[in-house]
């Protein structure tokens, strides 16, 4: 055995992994109701970094995330958005070791439905 380290190989991360990390992290932030369809949903078949409510791109080893959210009523939009940004950025950095360039939040709607007041069909 030598003191010199030999390369072990490379690790490739599928775009779906980044999408899932961003999606699940955002949905677990208090105040987020659900994800909205991103404007890129039409191009989803042709674009690997796009999924419902989440758009991911990687440029120069930096991850760029766009999240399209529907927030719960009676929340502070700014606070929830900042919380999502921090948590998604941290999750990507810690789980896959990639740096995050930005996490852009697009609030598409407010969910006024509650269990006491469900939407009418």
pLDDT tens by residue, 4-35: 677 789 888 888 999 999 999 999 999 999 99
3-state SS string over 3-22?
CCCCCCCCCCCCHHHHHHHH
Which of 84, 88, 90 is closest to 107 using CA atoms?
84
42: tokens are: 């039409």
- Does residue 45 have a pLDDT over 50? no
Please report, for the chain, the start and end positions of each structural domain, with discontinuous segments joined by +: 15-111
Number of CB atoms found within 10 A of residue 60's CB: 6
Give per-residue pLDDT as tens, 74-85.
999 999 999 999
- Domain 15-111: assigned CATH number: 3.30.70.1350
Q: How many CA atoms lie less than 13 Å away from 97 in the CB half-sphere?
A: 3
> Is the Cβ–Cβ distance between 52 and 90 less than 8 Å?
no
């Amino acid at each position: 055995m030598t003191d010199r380290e030999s390369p072990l190989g490379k690790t490739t991360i599928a775009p779906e992994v980044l999408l899932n990390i961003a999606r699940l992290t955002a949905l677990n932030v208090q105040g987020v109701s659900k994800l909205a369809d991103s404007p890129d949903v039409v191009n989803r078949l042709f674009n690997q970094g796009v999924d419902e409510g989440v758009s991911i791109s990687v440029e120069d080893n930096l991850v760029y995330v766009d999240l399209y959210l529907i927030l719960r009523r009676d929340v502070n939009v700014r606070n929830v958005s900042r919380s999502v940004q921090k948590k998604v950025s941290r999750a990507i950095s810690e789980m896959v070791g990639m740096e995050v360039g930005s996490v852009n939040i697009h609030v598409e709607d407010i969910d006024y439905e509650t269990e006491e007041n469900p939407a009418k069909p």
